[in-house]
Structure 1
Amino acid sequence: MADKSNPRVRKAVSQAGLSASKKHKAGTSSTTKPPTTDQPRVTRRAARQQQKDHPTVQQRNAKVSNDARAAAPFAWKACTGDANDLKRLQTKEEAVSQGLYHAGRIRSYIQLMAKTLQKHGGTTFQSWVAQLDDLEKQNDAFRVAIGFVGATEAGKTSVINALLGFRDLLPSSNQATATAVPCTIAYNNSPDPAAAFAAQIKFRTEQDIRQTLEYYFDAIATADESAEAAKADPSASASLNDSGTADEDVSDLLEMVSVVFNIDEAALRTETAGSLMAKHPDVRRLLGTTKTVKKSQSEVEAFSESIRPYMDSVTAVHGDTGVEFAAWPLIDVVYIFVKSDVLKNGVVLVDLPGLADSTQSRGRVAQEFFAKLSVTAIVAPVVRALNEQTATTLMTDNQQLRLQMDGSFHKKAFCMVLSKMDDIEVETHLKQQSGEARSDQTLEAARASLKALEEEFKTIQAHRSQTGQELKDIRRKLRHAEAHNLEQYQQDKSKSQVKLDSLDLQQQRNRKKAKDLNGLIRHWCITSRNAFVKKHMQQDFKRRQQRLAAVTTRPDLYDGDVNIFPVSSTAYWQVTQDTESPIGFPAKEYTGVPALQHWLRYAAIPERERHLNMVLNALHGLYNTMHTWSSASKASLRLTKKFVNDEVLHRPLEVFTTALTKRFSKLGRDIKALNPIKNKGSTVANCKDRCIRVVEHWAALDPDKGSQSKQLKRMRWPTYNACIARGGEVFIAKKGPRYAWVESLCNLFYEDIVGEWNLVLNEQVPALEPPTLDAIEEIWTAFMRQLEKRASVAAPQLLTAESQEKLSQIQLELRDLVSQDIRYIRDQARKAHLSVKDGVKAKWEPAFKRAKKEPAGKARFARQEQILVDFAARRGANMFKEATDQIAENLGAQLSAAHRRLARSMDEIRMRLANAILLILKPEGEDETPSDDNNSQENHAAGPRAAEKRNVQEIMLQWEAMWRMRTEQDTSLEACEAAIPDSYYVNAEDAEDADDDEDSSTGRGLVRVSSEQFLGQI
């Protein structure tokens, strides 16, 4: 039966009823005649039935129905050529939602029939249910992850809040800790109004925390040993450089441990991992759990406060004991779910730390998220962007190389966000850019007008003071005036008051003019600085992209350009929520936030549309088979199952399968021939030669300054020892740079292969898709020709236009499966290099252990350094050879898995084809396929109940109607300006005698007047 709870179904039914009622009334008034006395009396019901049963009427109705269908194709297919990408996607997303909804309603009937018919062949129904389950899982799991990476105090969280449309959703008072915890923000699909805002906080495991504590206590012991050695041998102090900082290795961990267990360093030295856990049961109970927070739509502030203790450094009670402590160091990841338009249809925002976390577990979690990003946005304050050289330095070299190897280091998958755009000293900037400022006539005119207004303000203020004094004198005289002078004094008072009011009004207007002039000047300074910073960042990005541009087949992607978005989240909220816009930001477009939202929407479109097309084609195929089964008549049954299989299907399917197998084998050979590390020998040789220099450079204080270690300042021994103790993993020294020894060795390897790797896996493998799909088109055409030859004699039902359309839909499903498989091959092959780091780390573990065991004392630094350099000389070549061999093995394994995946796709399509054809030939086939004996069906009690079938038919009719109707488009999806406006516009109310140019209204009813118009009016 129809599900009236669905609002779209209710709307469709009510509209259909209203339309039918109008047509009936119109028809009655124009064509109905009263019956004559010679005619027998006929009831309305009988008359309607006679009219319906008339053959001519039936033929006409059938023709009208068919013509209507032909005139109204499925909206999601008809929108293919729609130039508005966002509206096109909305149509397809609505179709997916409706398709899954109606298919889900049918599922209960299909499941019942599959269960009823299991003894007589109900596997067709079971396959429908399984196919629908898979589609729902794929749709639910679909994600387009957009990651935001930024250093501390970059304003990253504020930018994300602005994109989401909630001012204080994510706590941002302490970015230093918030950025250490990866946080994902996804759309909240829950219909529960009490859970409009939801969060899941996943805590680290007890084993993970115990390992961290054990490492901490081991590092303390090493530091104490070094300090004792320095006391015993004063001559060693020079090599130690500063024994008082020997515990530098644990400084980052000390903060984490102390804020959780509320204990200082001295007390910690008397504890063990076990004793700490035993004394803090609240901590132990949190570990390995997931906490859930839910709030209603009106409780956004309460929700923010509820999640703050898990993302900020504030302390709170987290258990029964009532003890307060900071929980953020115990957290792996926070998942947040909110109802925000920017998150609809699978888009997920990911808040990640900028640099790999010094705590290895959190660094590992962040790295796992980083590898899954579809789009990466680097956030840096515009005032610091150039001082930090470029925002791309917020990524490590290793992360940048991985982006390049994943094919994501280009303008469609990577952007830079310059936050805090409103933070600018106007006068300072004008002095720094005095030459450019003097050459801008509009700016100079604005500054001159502002100066004139300031002088006018002083003049008016003087007149106002004088008039005020006059008014004061008149009031004094009035108090002592004689009767005959009262009228004159009252007139003088009124004149003075009018004059004073006029001066006040003029001052008020001048203040508004001054604000707009200051806004114009401020906008010029902001725009000037943005252009300067963007120019230098573009140059830097082009240099970094050079190794890819040298070998690419996609110059449109690797042309050195990158999207850079200056934004001000502070100004955005002032414009959209506060009563008065800030100076320099007359409308929200000037804040840069809408431009960033616009780009993020479009950056996610390719993946979203690819997913939608796949789901819709699969749903259409499911729709066709269900429609064929539910709408067919038993009287059409003529063929036996054996005849259909042997004479109609067998030969064409065999030829089809053989041709596909050959084509898939060729695809495998073509992919295998595109070896991304075919120059293995030269790669190993290059890495071996450079490996020794890199290891020698580990002793440098600044790891980013070249590799000539003799010319560089050397780090202190405690720092060197800390890196050894961590096995070459990430270590961030106190008030020092970031050291990542294992990564530096991996980077050697990546730098040598990244160009060829990107070319092969991100360009050449995807380029195999079009010719493969063309070949499948030819194979399909040949299959249909063979099938038509046999069907013309044995099964003419297959030659109808409706049957041909249903079979053609399966071809689209095949194309989608093959496209998915090729992307799967590419994505899995790109992961083959991930084993390099683990392999390098394992190879170097003995060397680090040996260096760590070197006895304390004089020249320990030199001995440790020599151990590592000698190991690089002995094992470097073998290490990189094993790395290339491991990648080759991984690629081979992925290729084998891809072959199996293609084979499964072929089997799936063959089964769908066979089922579709059998259903067309035997529509009433409750027993899955035509029986060997037509009369044997009467002996089965397995047929679906008539009522159930009618229910399915009604749902199918509603499904079809919803797919054919064009839905109302969401006006919020209209494209906005792609950049901050170059020209500055002011509110017309602020300009005297302004023209009502309402064609360019923006913001809160803002009537735009250009700066030139405004200056002319002044």
Structure 2
Amino acid sequence: MSTQDNIARFHYTTEQKIRAWYTCGGDIDPSTLTFDRSWPHISPKLHDIYVERARYLDSLAEHGVLVDGSMYENFFVEVYIRYYQARGAGGGSCGVQGEEAMPLTTFDALLGERIGRRMNIDVNSLETQDSDEDNTDTHPTSTEEIASHLYGIQPQSESTMNPILSRLETAVAKGIQTLNNLQAFLTNSKPEIENTSDVSDWLSEITKIKQYAAPPKVIIGIIGSTGAGKSSLINAIIDEENLLGTNCMHASTVAATEIAYNYRSGKKYRAEVEFVSRGEWKRELRALVGDLKECKGDEGSLGDRGLGGNSEAAVAIEKIRAVYPVLSVTEIKELDVEGLLRKDGVCDVLGQTIVVESDDPKAFARDLAVYIDSKGKCSKTATNDTGKGKAPMQTILDNHPATKTTIMTAYWPLVRVVRIYTRACALSTGATLVDLPGIFDSNAARVAAAEEYMKKCSAHWFVAPINRAVDDKVAQGLLGQNMRVQLLMDGAVNDLTFICTKTDDVSVSEVPESLLKRESVSPDLGEGLEDIGVLEEWLVGAKSEILDIAERLEELGVCSEGGGSQGSSPGKHKKSISVSVQRPALDNTCEMQSNSGLVSDLVLEDDTRTLNDRRKGLTSLYGALSTERYTKETLEHENQVLQTNLIHEYIQARNTYSKKELKHDFARGIHAFHSRSRHVPSSTQDPSYCHALEQDLSVFCVSTCAYQKLQGRLRREAPVSGFSALEQTEIPQLQAHCITVTEQAREASALRFLFHLRRVLDSIRLWATVEDGARVVSQGKKVEIEARYYIAEESFKREVERTCEGLMQGICDILTLNVIRNFGDASILASKKCDETVKDWSDLNYNTYKAVCCRQGVFRFHNWNQELANLVIEPLLCDWINAFENEMPLEVDWFTQLMKTHLQAFHTHAISAAEIILSDEIKNELKEIWKVQYKVMKRDVVHTVNRARRKQRGINREFAVGVEEYLHPAYLKCAYENGSGMFHRMREHIRTQSTGIELFQHSTDRVKSELIKLLDKIEHDLISITTRLMEQTTRDYTTCIITPLVQQLTSSSQSQARIKREAADVAREAETELGLDELLNNVNTTAATTGTSHGRGPWEGDGRDGQRERHALETIKEEDESE
């Protein structure tokens, strides 16, 4: 498009084609829309509209505002589609050329929104897109569908799946079908097969293998303070406008909320709301009523204005009145807990799980808000007006009288957890987002639910607004002492992600001063700031000049109407107009020619001038006015573009600065924590360790509002400036990160399934390949072969059992030497520091101290149990991490290498024993069999040990549980204290109970007991794995060596031979179709390694047998190179 006419022609044909599409309601053949040939014949008025539009776009293109090249067409197709989509169908004759075109002001507004300008769009019909009505039209409706239908433009795919994982998961999907076919074949053929025990084993294996195909659930915990924007963030990630309620005035969610993919057919949105049990609510009520009774005062002083919003009594009143809204404070105090439990059918929901389903996101969010919004109430009058059926809670309420209590009851204090299922692309690979507002809750049941999720989290996302993320040291603040210890014990420091929200929260006035403090800002912006000021001054002069021209134009009009016989003096006619305000010349961004010469001096000559001359002057002056107005509009647009670009660059600069500071702050916080401890490995003091922490930490700076606006949502919200593309909001990157987090678990799961599938197929093919009585040997030779084979088999089993026992002894030694043996010294150290910790609690005010005691040591941000547990954890921290993250994986590597040696030795001895009866084909098959068996076994063992390492997350929390158990009598005494001097007595109860080493011995004994249970579980799983390995391996070798010897004098029936041929064909075709040989041989071998998640924390070789560990590592390296 080299000329303005070509540009105008393109916009005419594009807009008219889309206008015709909507005029006809989508019922039109695109091939009939031939507006390109109509361009030379359109009316001058319509032609001028598009030429003016082309000239306007030319002015924008000069300053690099618009896209170029192949993206140009796609860009404007979306602009026109959006405009006519908002207007809807109708308004013209289908397929007939009209004289309608989008006004330039509207075009400018829509274009400005597409390139990220802050403008007020005066297109009233745009609000119609926010309608609740369902659109049942079968024609294309979305921008992408219409663009594809009319122009063949396909939406760009942003696949985040790596190619290897894609192939693996495709093979898993096909493998499930293969197993189903194989299962049906074996079931139908079983009556005709002579040796049915093998068939039964295969059928049992197939059933078990199919369970491995289930997608792994990867839990991502989202943590942040109230108002950080967690709910808005989740809505953006799952591409919903308001599925989780958001509110800037109060916490929008109060219970742990799990959001996962909805794999079920049926309704698109589904939620399960789980309520606390009767016992849990009883305990909570007892604590709440206790808080209320501790606060003295009458009804008025205990009202909302008489208490601090965060005081214990205020929280108690809010929760109790939410469930029992009719009761006054006095009535609440007078009633006992049992009396409250009997009130108005509240117990009917306790312990239940209610399901909410809908295809309408707004209706679903409205019904769900009753349970998760801290201001949500369940009203009987608001549920069935639409005739769409009753809400789940309504059914319960209908069983009770329609009293004021039931009408206004809020159920959020009774909810333990909410599980939401939706079909969001970001969750389709198994990621499960969990909003954890209950970590610092006063409700014990919700705290327990949040803690349970924390133990299972594969990743932790910390959320904070960007304007507080750096200044408030959020990386250190969110990772407080308890959180740091917990993450280190869990081995989860490498799984953190920081998310800075509200990056669009910026005003133009703060940009210049702030930009001066950033090093990464473009030097052109300083000139841009000056340009904006100069342009604004020039525009004031331009407006005054336009008024002068308009006044003169009106005067000339009067003159022309009077035919030169005005009653005014000649001096008045000789009034001249000159352009006194000249636009300054600007560099690059705003250069235009000065307007000082646009309007020449117009002097009215004497009354003898003809009317035609005056008309000619009038036309010239009118053209000057139009040019001046167009120039003014262009300059205003340039000003807005400059401001937009400036805000965008400021946002990007602040994002870059925030990411750098957060990474540095995080690494500095972890390093400072290690520096204060005397029990950490020397590797953590290495500068490279801190550098690795800093570099590998994922940080995102996101704008959920800008993302939603660019996606066409939040239409009633003000436009967001500074964002012209989705990627600038960083939400697409975060969605991709959400998928990436699941890749490691998905790859391990897929490989485990495929290796098991490969082993079953090989086993069946081997059975089908062996020919009965193929080679006849003498009786003596037969006995010799059998004897040598059984000797090899017994030796193999003996070595496997001994190696398994060695692994268990090794793991037991690791835990004993690194952890259990140090419990005594750690308890002594902890007891010496305990007094100081308990003394610090005495500084709390009475109400908070009493609230903590009534809740067994945990209330809001206070967790006394964890604080005391940290005293004994800190001396154990280094050795605990070393045991589970370093030495245990090394022990497993040693074990798997020995098992490989045993398998290889058994294969060699078995082949040697039966050399004369085995064909080369069978030998090669057996060689592949033992290699696959080894890889299957290795992944099963790795899976077992990794599961044990995850299990230790729950075990290390038993330190705090042991503390709580030991302090329970003291907590109980404090809860029942009353009267004068009670605060002193409460503190004395806690001090007395927590003094001495017994507290920490009780805590460590509980952990020791759990570690022993873990060892028993590992041993049980390892015995199961090795037993299965021995049975399956010897079965296959027996099939090839012993079975033919036993059946020398007999031959299989025709049906048996047919079944074997069919089985071999099924197995061979399945392996060929899936490409298992190539896929599994070329897959990255690191999927089965068991080191730390990011390879940090180098193994120091200080285990119980450093030489053996180094040998194991060298063997692994050699194996990887040879294979």
Interval containing the TM-score (normalised by the shorter chain):
0.7 to 0.9
Structure 2 residue aligned with 1:687: 830
- Give the TM-score of the pair, scaled to structure 1: 0.74
Match runs of 1:62-101 below 5 Å: 86-101=162-177
Distance 1:718 1:204, change over 3 A: closer
- The SS at the match of 1:334 is strand
Q: Alignment partner for residue 890 of structure 1, among 1010, 1013, 1020?
A: 1010
Aligned AA for 1:453?
A: L
Q: Alignment partner for residue 202 of structure 1, among 274, 289, 295?
A: 274
Q: Alignment partner for residue 991 of structure 2, among 853, 862, 869?
A: 869
2:478 is the alignment partner of 1:368: no
Aligned AA for 1:202?
A: E
2:542 is the alignment partner of 1:460: yes
Aligned AA for 2:755?
A: N
Q: Alignment partner for residue 818 of structure 1, among 941, 944, 961?
A: 941
- The SS at the match of 2:722 is coil
2:370 is the alignment partner of 1:309: yes
Task: For 1:245 and 1:623, locate their aligned partners in 2 and report how far apart those are by CA, in whole Å.
Answer: 69
- The SS at the match of 2:441 is coil
2:301 is the alignment partner of 1:252: no
Structure 2 residue aligned with 1:449: 531
Pairwise CA distance, 1:531: 4.2
Higher relative contact order (CA 8 A, sep 6+): 1
Identity %: 19
Task: Indicate if the aligned counterparts of 1:352 and 1:366 stay in contact, CA closer than 8 A.
Answer: yes
2:694 is the alignment partner of 1:619: no
Task: For 1:94 and 1:952, locate their aligned partners in 2 and report how far apart those are by CA, in whole Å.
Answer: 23
Q: How many residues of Structure 1 are paired with residues of Structure 2 in the alignment?
A: 829
Task: For 2:863 and 2:335, locate their aligned partners in 1 and report how far apart those are by CA, in whole Å.
Answer: 30
Structure 2 residue aligned with 1:105: 181
Structure 2 residue aligned with 1:213: 285
Task: Indicate if the aligned counterparts of 1:548 and 1:755 stay in contact, CA closer than 8 A.
Answer: no
Q: What does the per-residue CA deviation read over 1:263-314, in whole Å, with 9 as the maximum and x for residues that have no partner? A: 3423323434444444423x43333222223334xx3333333322222132
Q: What does the per-residue CA deviation read over 1:24-51, in whole Å, with 9 as the maximum and x for residues that have no partner? A: xxxxxxxxxxxxxxxxxxxxxxxxxxxx
Structure 2 residue aligned with 1:157: 231
Q: Which runs of 5 or more structure 1 residues have no equivalent in the other structure? A: 1-82, 229-242, 702-714, 733-737, 923-928, 968-1018
Task: For 1:761 and 1:198, locate their aligned partners in 2 and report how far apart those are by CA, in whole Å.
Answer: 39
Pairwise CA distance, 1:936: 7.6
> Which range moves more in the overlay, 688-697 or 585-594?
585-594
Aligned AA for 2:209?
A: L
Structure 2 residue aligned with 1:551: 681
Pairwise CA distance, 1:84: 9.3
Q: Alignment partner for residue 961 of structure 1, among 1051, 1073, 1079?
A: 1073
Structure 2 residue aligned with 1:983: none
Structure 2 residue aligned with 1:709: none
Pairwise CA distance, 1:811: 1.9
Task: For 1:362 and 1:643, locate their aligned partners in 2 and report how far apart those are by CA, in whole Å.
Answer: 69
Q: What does the per-residue CA deviation read over 1:409-441, in whole Å, with 9 as the maximum and x for residues that have no partner? A: 13xx10111110111234335335645589952
- The SS at the match of 1:842 is helix
- The SS at the match of 2:462 is strand
Task: Indicate if the aligned counterparts of 1:227 and 1:246 stay in contact, CA closer than 8 A.
Answer: no
Task: Indicate if the aligned counterparts of 1:109 and 1:952 stay in contact, CA closer than 8 A.
Answer: no
Pairwise CA distance, 1:486: 5.3
> Which range moves more in the overlay, 481-490 or 611-620?
481-490
Match runs of 1:324-339 below 5 Å: 324=407, 325-339=409-423
Structure 2 residue aligned with 1:300: 361
- The SS at the match of 2:432 is strand
Pairwise CA distance, 1:507: 3.2
Q: What does the per-residue CA deviation read over 1:117-168, in whole Å, with 9 as the maximum and x for residues that have no partner? A: 79x6534333333333333334326212111111111111111222222232
Match runs of 1:121-160 below 5 Å: 122-140=196-214, 142-160=216-234
Q: What does the per-residue CA deviation read over 1:478-524, in whole Å, with 9 as the maximum and x for residues that have no partner? A: 55558995544544444344333333333333333323322332233
Match runs of 1:913-992 below 5 Å: 913-918=1033-1038, 932-933=1046-1047, 953=1065, 957=1069, 960-963=1072-1075
Task: Indicate if the aligned counterparts of 2:773 and 2:1044 stay in contact, CA closer than 8 A.
Answer: no
Q: Alignment partner for residue 853 of structure 2, among 720, 724, 730?
A: 724
- Give the TM-score of the pair, scaled to structure 2: 0.67
Distance 1:179 1:308, change over 3 A: closer
Aligned AA for 1:759?
A: N
Task: For 1:936 and 1:227, locate their aligned partners in 2 and report how far apart those are by CA, in whole Å.
Answer: 99
Root-mean-square deviation (Å): 3.9
Q: What does the per-residue CA deviation read over 1:370-425, in whole Å, with 9 as the maximum and x for residues that have no partner? A: 11001101001111224543145335533332111011013xx1011111011123
Task: For 1:956 and 1:490, locate their aligned partners in 2 and report how far apart those are by CA, in whole Å.
Answer: 93
Task: Indicate if the aligned counterparts of 1:201 and 1:333 stay in contact, CA closer than 8 A.
Answer: yes
2:843 is the alignment partner of 1:700: yes
Q: Alignment partner for residue 607 of structure 1, among 741, 745, 750?
A: 745
Pairwise CA distance, 1:685: 1.9
Task: Indicate if the aligned counterparts of 1:854 and 1:860 stay in contact, CA closer than 8 A.
Answer: yes
Q: Alignment partner for residue 703 of structure 2, among 568, 582, 601?
A: 568
Pairwise CA distance, 1:253: 3.6
Aligned AA for 1:443?
A: L
Task: For 1:170 and 1:636, locate their aligned partners in 2 and report how far apart those are by CA, in whole Å.
Answer: 70
Task: For 1:211 and 1:851, locate their aligned partners in 2 and report how far apart those are by CA, in whole Å.
Answer: 16
- The SS at the match of 1:765 is helix
Pairwise CA distance, 1:626: 3.8
- The SS at the match of 2:167 is helix
Aligned AA for 1:604?
A: T
Match runs of 1:449-848 below 5 Å: 449-477=531-559, 479-481=561-563, 487-546=612-671, 547=673, 550-551=680-681, 559-561=692-694, 562-577=697-712, 582-629=720-767, 646-647=786-787, 649-674=789-814, 675-677=817-819, 678-701=821-844, 715=845, 717-730=846-859, 732=860, 738-796=861-919, 799-848=922-971
Structure 1 residue aligned with 2:431: 347
Structure 1 residue aligned with 2:469: 385
Task: For 1:354 and 1:416, locate their aligned partners in 2 and report how far apart those are by CA, in whole Å.
Answer: 19
Task: Indicate if the aligned counterparts of 2:237 and 2:735 stay in contact, CA closer than 8 A.
Answer: yes
Task: For 2:764 and 2:616, locate their aligned partners in 1 and report how far apart those are by CA, in whole Å.
Answer: 92
- The SS at the match of 1:139 is coil
Distance 1:293 1:797, change over 3 A: farther
Distance 1:267 1:953, change over 3 A: farther
Task: For 1:430 and 1:291, locate their aligned partners in 2 and report how far apart those are by CA, in whole Å.
Answer: 53
Task: For 1:845 and 1:645, locate their aligned partners in 2 and report how far apart those are by CA, in whole Å.
Answer: 69
Aligned AA for 2:979?
A: A
> Which range moves more in the overlay, 720-729 or 370-379?
720-729
Task: For 1:944 and 1:319, locate their aligned partners in 2 and report how far apart those are by CA, in whole Å.
Answer: 64
Distance 1:695 1:484, change over 3 A: same
Match runs of 1:260-299 below 5 Å: 260-264=323-327, 265-281=329-345, 283-296=346-359, 299=360
Task: For 2:1078 and 2:1027, locate their aligned partners in 1 and report how far apart those are by CA, in whole Å.
Answer: 36
> Which range moves more in the overlay, 428-437 or 863-872?
428-437
- The SS at the match of 2:497 is strand
Aligned AA for 1:842?
A: E
Aligned AA for 1:837?
A: A
Task: For 1:495 and 1:780, locate their aligned partners in 2 and report how far apart those are by CA, in whole Å.
Answer: 99
Distance 1:661 1:491, change over 3 A: farther
Aligned AA for 2:843?
A: A
> Which range moves more in the overlay, 123-132 or 930-939?
930-939
> Which range moves more in the overlay, 126-135 or 681-690?
126-135
Pairwise CA distance, 1:797: 5.8
Aligned AA for 1:168?
A: N
- The SS at the match of 1:361 is helix
Aligned AA for 2:992?
A: D
- The SS at the match of 2:429 is helix
